[in-house]
């Protein structure tokens, strides 16, 4: 059986319609059933600590939340209403410009109403992440076991 997938063009269009994704400049790189990957070019206004040149952790969190959401959409096979229930982020090292942030997320479990995702964020080396994350989302797809009205 051929599993549905979320076309990259549809995902990119969606990313331009969501205001915070558009304002951040999030660029989707790949969306497949198994994962979603995006880049976030860093800008001076993303600095949270100007003296040390460090990117604000809220920027990293927004990237993770968005890419995990796309991973959920990809696993479901289309754009549905979702809501972040829980998002835990472990910040492993500081983020400094100019290298873009890359985030790869996967939805590793999908139930009738809940989706579980994990993500890693890095700058140049995927083996040296700047952050990792676990997230839980509620989604509005109908279960195969529910009766339709």
Structure tokens at 40: 């976030």
Helix, strand, coil share of the chain (percent; to 5): 25, 35, 40
Pairing of strands 47-49, 36-40: unpaired
Which domains does the chain carry? 8-139 (3.10.129.10)
Pairing of strands 101-110, 82-91: unpaired
Structure tokens at 73: 């959409």
Q: How far is CA 138 from CA 49, 54, 57, 64, 115, in A?
A: 34, 32, 24, 16, 6
Predicted confidence band at 80 (pLDDT cuts at 50, 70, 90)?
A: confident
pLDDT tens digit sequence for 1-46: 445 556 666 667 776 777 777 888 998 899 888 999 999 999 999 9
pTM: 0.87
pLDDT tens digit sequence for 102-134: 999 999 999 999 999 999 999 999 999 999 999
Interacting residues of 55 by C-beta distance below 8 A, sequence separation 6+:
42, 46, 47, 48, 94, 95, 96, 97, 101
């Amino acid at each position: 059986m051929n599993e549905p997938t979320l076309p990259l063009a549809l995902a990119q269009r969606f990313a331009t319609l969501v205001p915070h994704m558009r304002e951040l400049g999030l660029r989707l790189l790949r969306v497949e059933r198994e994962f979603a990957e995006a880049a976030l070019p860093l800008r001076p206004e993303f600095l949270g600590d100007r003296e040390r040149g460090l990117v604000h952790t809220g920027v990293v969190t927004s990237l993770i939340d968005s890419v995990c959401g796309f991973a959920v959409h990809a696993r479901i096979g289309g754009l549905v209403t979702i809501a972040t229930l829980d998002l835990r982020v472990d910040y492993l090292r500081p983020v400094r410009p100019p290298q873009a942030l890359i985030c790869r997320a996967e939805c590793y479990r999908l139930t009738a109403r809940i989706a579980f995702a994990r993500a890693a964020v890095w700058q140049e080396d995927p083996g040296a992440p700047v952050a990792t994350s676990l997230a839980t989302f509620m989604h509005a797809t109908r279960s195969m076991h529910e009766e339709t009205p």
